[in-house]
Chains A and B, each alone.
Chain A
Amino acid sequence: QVQLVQSGAEVKKPGASVKVSCKAFGYTFTSYGVSWVRQAPGQGLEWMGWISAYNGHTDYAQNLQGRVAMTTDPSTNTVYMELRSLRSDDTAIYYCARVGPGVTNNWFDPWGQGTLVTVSS
């Protein structure tokens, strides 16, 4: 069964960093990519970026450039998303989702269960 399992909820202070993990099960890890999407309370879905598990290529949303980094660990089929210099408006549920395979099949399926990140002093 294809599934993505994310790490647990985090509470961080403004200015800190958070690193969320997303572990893949049930498929060939390096044949797909993983995208990250966040959802602030009561708001819509915001695409953050993606990483190819095949070659590590990344693309990030322009508004997060310089603060976000996505990495993979093929030995454990895990993708990581690190967000630095946290602000209160980074409070959101963070989702990972599988992308691909191939360069045109860029829809998201399945999604991880979500990780709540709360930024508060």
Chain B
Amino acid sequence: DIHMTQSPFSLSASVGDRVTITCRASQGIGKSLAWYQQKPGKVPRLLIYDASVLQSGVPSRFSGSGSGTDFTLTITSLQPADVATYYCQKYNSVPWTFGQGTRVEIK
């Protein structure tokens, strides 16, 4: 099975900072990658699919890039509302594995 590894495990940044989270697949998955945001105590929410397509209603400060094995989620200007854990997920073939998550906090 393909393993998904996110880094860092957690990060703390200031409001307005650019934040980057990476996700690496143990084998190539094309562009079959999604990013989800889960705020504390809340249901996960789809942010990005097909590696770079922004889901409707998601703020434009979120963006995704990558293909094959290396992917990136970027928040261009971190806001207090972005405090959450972010998960990548591959879906090219089952099992549709998640990364272990990256916790984002405000410094």
Any B CB within 8 A of the CB of A26: no
Q: Could you tell me the distance in whole angstroms from the C-beta of A108 to the nearest C-beta in chain B?
A: 6
- B68 CB-CB contact with A under 8 Å: no
Measured between beta carbons, the chain B residues less than 8 angstroms from A59 are 94-95
- Chain A nearest CB: distance from B7 CB in Å? 14
A111 touches B98 (CB 8 A): no
Q: How far is the CB of A68 from chain B (nearest CB, A)?
A: 13
How extensive is the interface on chain B, given as a class? 20 to 34
Contact with A along B21-63 (1 / 0, CB 8 A): 0000000000010101010000111100110000100000000
Q: Is the CB of A107 within 8 A of B91?
A: yes
Looking across the interface, which residue of chain A has its beta carbon closest to that of B30? A104
Residues A35 and B96 in contact, CB atoms below 8 Å apart: yes
B55 contact from A44, A109, A113, Cβ within 8 A? A109
In the complex, whether A95 has a CB less than 8 A from a CB of chain B is: yes
Contact B32 A106 (CB under 8 A): yes
Number of interface residues of A (CB under 8 A): 23
Most chain B Cβ neighbours within 10 Å, of A44, A50, A95: A44
What are the residues of chain A within 8 A of B99 when measuring CB–CB? 44
CB of A108 within 8 A of CB of B95, answer no
Closest Cβ neighbor of A93 among chain B residues? B43
- In contact, A61 and B95 (Cβ under 8 angstroms): yes
Among B46, B85, B94, B98, residue most surrounded by chain A Cβ atoms (within 10 Å) = B94
Report the Cα distance A52→B55, complex, angstroms: 22
Give Cα A117 to B42, complex, Å. Answer: 16
Q: Is B71 part of the contact surface with A, judged by Cβ < 8 Å?
A: no
Residues of A within 8 A of B (CB): 35, 37, 44-47, 50, 59, 61-62, 95, 97, 104-114
19 chain-A/chain-B pairs, Cβ below 8 angstroms: A35-B96, A37-B98, A44-B85, A45-B36, A45-B89, A50-B94, A59-B94, A62-B1, A95-B44, A97-B44, A105-B49, A106-B32, A106-B91, A107-B34, A107-B46, A108-B34, A108-B44, A109-B55, A114-B43
